[in-house]
Chains A and B, each alone.
Chain A
Amino acid sequence: MTSSADATSAIGPSALTRTIVLSAAGLFLGLPLFALGAFTVRGGLAGGVTLIHWRDLFGGNLGAAAQPLWEGVQNSILLAIVTVAVMLALLVPAMILVRLHLPRMVRVLEFICLIPLTIPAVALVVGLAPVFSVVARIFGSGSWTLAFAYVIITLPYAYRSIQANLVAVDVVTLTEAARSLGASWFSTIKDVILPNLRRGMLAASFISVAVVLGEYAIASLLSRTNLQTALVLVSKRDPYVSNIVVLLSLVLVLILLFALGRIGTRSRRSRS
């Protein structure tokens, strides 16, 4: 392997180039985030550095200005849970069924799942608005109903995570083995297939949670409150609090995606 590693390094950048490019990129992308952090410890007109805004947030010592934020956080968490649940309940059985019995439908399912990538969320909302007036009549206008829209926008990401897993394990052989050993369909799915798809389902859930927590367009245009719309609202009255919460949410999603990367890496290794 050493020869190919040498060859790769021969076409790759020198250590100096790499350091310069990555530092410049880090500076350009990191500076705004640093400024965001610096803003949250700014002492206002008096100047200086203060942790008072952080203490206010965690001490529960917040004015009415921050009230929508709690509602937004609660709604977003609920939305994330409902979206993941509905997404898994719809997508996993469909994908297993197509994989096992309808191989010709694979392209169709893939096409359907990838459509939301092509349709901008803003454009989707225009079509969703009349649909949601019906939804509101049936389920009420609670924020959790947004989850129906969120399932659509998370489909492409969830599909690809699960598909990667589904291709990697030989579901057909596993099923035939389980069936020929006398397992019922139910226990084949529950005890054989689902445990093998755990990694893909976990990855799909992580990426869906990240997408739902970051969603702004649909919620704001349908006048529902979620984390992001609450942030925009609160930022106009108390930018310190909203910026702190933005930082925290960025860190949370970063951790989610980092964990997602670890899942992917491990499954790639175990395959090879």
Chain B
Amino acid sequence: MGDPVVLETFWNSAWLSALTAVLGVFFGALICYALIGTKPDGHFRNAINAVSGVLAQFAGVPLAFAYIATMGLNGMVTVFLKESLGIDIYANGTWLYEMPGLILPYLAFQIPLMVIVFLPALEALKPQWAEANATLGGRRSAFWLRIGLPVLAPSLVGSLLLLFANAFSAYATAAALISQGSQIVPLQIRAALASETVLGHENLGGALALGMILTMIVVMSLYSVVERRASRWRR
């Protein structure tokens, strides 16, 4: 476990999860904000929920394929940028199949997950508060700064933790995209389970899995603490 390679994969997993969680929370919350005022039970919301559900929970392997078709060496965007604008995104090597390449596909399931978990939280904002704000002469910015954000802050932190946990435990997208090397913990587990060539490391897979579970327990316990605070306004 103290092996520098193992420590590096844990570090890689951590920053990848943290980065995509922060970006996912930001853009996901933005989408939720844009959906305020649409009917909660309407077809549009339902369609958004269904699409988000597919991307967030089902599309591990499909997302890897989709990004290969988009940004692979002969992908649509790669070819378009090269032929029309003369930009070669892979001038410094094909990063899609390495760590940086995971960021965009991960965002493609992190943002939808944020929409799923945060959209119900927005419904906690009571219309009466908006009325009170308007009656007292507050504007939209005042509402969000003084009421919206403080009330939603625990939900936002909770979502951040949930997205971190989600990215940390994701396997399919990375496994389908990266077939060489083990840059993140789940892939390291794959290597440990699939190969018997690492002498003296028979139980490395178990140790890695335990490390993952411990990380998840810490994150999820924090989540349940934050979630209890968040539910205060939902009565």
Contact = CB atoms under 8 A, between A and B. Distances in A.
Given A21-B34, A249-B62, A29 B209 contact: no
A246 B31 contact: no
B69 A21 contact: no
Nearest to A222: B193
Contacts of B112: 29
A38 B69 contact: yes
Contacts of B75: 35
For this complex, into which size category does the number of interface residues on chain B fall? 35 or more
B213 A123 contact: yes
Contacts of A89: none
Contact of B58 (A21, A25, A253, A258): A253
Interface string B96-109: 00000000010110
B55 to A, nearest CB: 6
B125 A11 contact: yes
Contacts of B57: 210-211, 214
Interface in A10-39: 10-13, 17-18, 21-22, 25, 28-29, 31-36, 38-39
Interface stretch (A91-99, A113-121, A141-149): A113-121
B37 A12 contact: yes
Contact of A118 (B60, B148, B210, B217): B217
A243 B61 CA distance: 11
Contacts of A221: 189-190, 193-194
Contacts of B51: 29, 254
Best-surrounded residue of B69, B175, B210 (most CB of chain A within 10 A) = B69
A235 interface: yes
A7 B133 CA distance: 9
A90 B130 CA distance: 46
Given A10-B140, A122-B190, A123-B212, A246 B61 contact: yes
A242 interface: yes
A8 B130 contact: yes
Contacts of B217: 118
A13 B121 CA distance: 17
Contacts of B117: none
Interface string B10-41: 00000000000000000100110111110001
A11 B193 contact: no
B81 interface: no
A166 to B, nearest CB: 19
A232 B49 contact: no
B5 interface: no
B30 A228 contact: no
Contacts of B107: 28
A4 interface: yes
24 contacts: A4-B128, A7-B131, A8-B36, A8-B37, A11-B36, A21-B30, A25-B34, A29-B51, A29-B55, A31-B77, A32-B66, A33-B66, A34-B76, A35-B70, A118-B165, A122-B171, A124-B209, A127-B209, A211-B57, A221-B193, A258-B47, A258-B50, A262-B46, A268-B41
Given A36-B65, A126-B205, 8 more contacts: A10-B140, A11-B125, A13-B36, A122-B209, A210-B58, A214-B61, A220-B175, A253-B54
Interface of A: 3-5, 7-13, 17-18, 21-22, 25, 28-29, 31-36, 38-39, 117-127, 129, 210-211, 213-214, 216-217, 220-221, 228, 231-232, 235, 239, 242-243, 246, 249-250, 253-254, 257-258, 260-262, 265, 268-269
User: 9 closest pairs, A vs B, by CB?
Assistant: A120-B169, A4-B127, A12-B36, A32-B66, A7-B130, A21-B34, A123-B209, A216-B172, A214-B58
